Amino acid sequence: MAEEKELTTNTIAETENYAVWSAAEPDGEVTYHLELNNVTVHFFQEEWDEYIELIKKLK
């Protein structure tokens, strides 16, 4: 049986109600996850980069 790679996660930022974390997927892709209370939005790297650019424009 093939050995399964472990999912590695990293908390980027969090508050009492929100969290942002990344996951190094077994296939080598990094995904990002934005938790807003009971909703989680999942991003691939390209989507995450675009989202960060959007947030920067809010300042």
5-20 confidence digits (pLDDT tens)? 778 899 999 999 999 9
Nearest-CA neighbor of 25 among 3, 4, 40?
Answer: 4
CB 43 within 8 A of CB 52: no
Burial 24-50 (b: 16+ CB within 10 A, else e): eeeeeeebbbbeeeeeeeebeeeebee
Look at residue 58 and tell me whether its pLDDT is greater than 70: yes
User: What pLDDT was estimated at residue 4?
Assistant: 66
